[in-house]
Structure formats: structure tokens, C-alpha cells
Amino acid sequence: MGIFITLEGIDGSGKTTVSKILKARLEKDGYKTMLIKEPTETPLGKFIRGEILGSRTETAAPLGALTALFLFSADRTVHIDEIKAKLNCLDVIICDRFIDSTFAYQAAGLNNTLEDKHLKNFIFYVSEFILKQKKFSIDRTYLFDLKPETALGRLSGRVCKIDGFDSRPPEFFNSVRKNYLCLSEKHKERIKLIDASAPIEKIAGEVGEDILKMLEKRKP
């Protein structure tokens, strides 16, 4: 049985670039590795990317947190079954975004009202419930922590990379980052905080070394 790794952080934090470096290095060392992402490539995943993450006009009404939560959760429920099957014949699966993204983004911008607190707790509960129901766990999550203004500065130089979330104001991403850091406190054993302002090669080296240690422990 292989190990399941997730990479989290706001867009522009470098996680996608690092994942490609990790795959190349792990395969060079003889490990069977696969890169996946969420939303998935299923029809539902493509719908999510188009309607929630796709470019939206200023007049388009944003989908509510609950609507987005249920769509992401439905896509993930099917995805977990696929991941479990693939872990039987692979050493490492690296997923770009997973349950932590759902909480960090869907709970972003919520206030301290009782209603918003209940909604935030529900978003967290749904993701945890799916993992328990599927008897599935994440071996390690690397949270690429970066100041929103730095991440948005990186994104501004990209072509066709501004989507329904990226076009939101910096305050939204400060809230996303705060949610991510809150999760890292809740799951200290699982989530490893990464300074995403460091050079990409340094980050890849740090993450790669940690993954190799986990793989060594799995050897009979």
C-alpha cells in the first residue's frame, strides 16, 4: 500500500511546480508515483472547474458556500474510491488540493456570527465525515504558506490563470490563509507547514526528504 500526500495553499504558492519536481525525483529513485488534483477530471469535476473555478463575469452570482461544499464533496467521494484502488499498485500519490482546500476557501469571508460559526463547523464536519465513512486517511499534508500579496503578484504574471477565486480581493485570501493555519493547528501530526517564500528547489528538497522518510518506514 502506497502513501497519500496532499499539497495545499493558495494559488501562486508553488505547490503545482513542486509536485512535478517531486514526481521526477521519486521516479528517478525507483518509486511509482502519480500526480492527481481536485477537482477531478470526471464530468462533475469539470463542471466545478467551469462553474466555480472558471472565469466569471462581474454580474455572475457566486455560488453559496453550501452549494460549493456539496459539489466538491460529491466529487471527492468518488475520487477517494479511485485513490484507494491506485494506492494498491503505487508507492506515492500526490494530490494538488484535497479536503483542506474545501474548508479554507468555502469558510473564507465568514463572520463571527453564530450562524457563520455553525456553517464553518459544518463545512469542517462534512470533510471529516467523508474520510471516516470511506475509512481513508491522508499520510501527510504540506501546507505551502505564503502571504496573499506575494501569491497574487506571482499570479498576475500568468496567462489565463485568474479564476473565480483568484479575482477576489486580498482580504478574501487573508481569510483563506487564516483558515489554512487554523487547520494546521488542529492537525499538527498530519499537516507540515512549508515556507512557500523560499526557493522552489529548497522547498522540493524539504518535502522530498520527508516523503522519503515515510517511504523508508513503510519498507518491510
pLDDT tens string 126-137: 999 999 999 999
The string of pLDDT tens digits covering residues 132-158 is 999 999 999 999 999 999 988 888 766
Print burial letters for 66-80: b (CB count within 10 Å at least 16), e (below 16). eebbebbbebbeebb
Q: How far is CA 92 from the centre of its chain?
A: 16
Average pLDDT over residues 168-181: 90
Q: Is the pLDDT of residue 178 over 90?
A: yes
Q: Are 45 and 75 contacting, i.e. CB atoms less than 8 angstroms apart?
A: yes
Band of residue 167 on the pLDDT scale cut at 50, 70, 90? low
pLDDT tens column, 19-43: 999 999 999 999 999 999 999 999 9
Mean pLDDT over all residues of the chain? 90
pLDDT interval class at 68 (50, 70, 90): confident
- How far lies 76's CA from each of 57, 72, 96, in Å? 27, 6, 13
Domain total for the chain?
1
CATH of the domain at 91: 3.40.50.300
- pLDDT, residue 59, reads 37
Average pLDDT, stretch 181-189?
97
Nearest to 192 by CA among 144, 148, 151, 150: 144
Residue-range definition of the domain harbouring residue 77: 3-218
In the structure, what pLDDT confidence band is assigned to residue 170 with cuts at 50, 70 and 90? confident
The per-residue pLDDT for 201 is: 97
What's the confidence (pLDDT) of residue 60?
Answer: 40
Q: Is the pLDDT of residue 162 over 50?
A: no
Residue 219: count of CB within 10 angstroms of its CB: 5
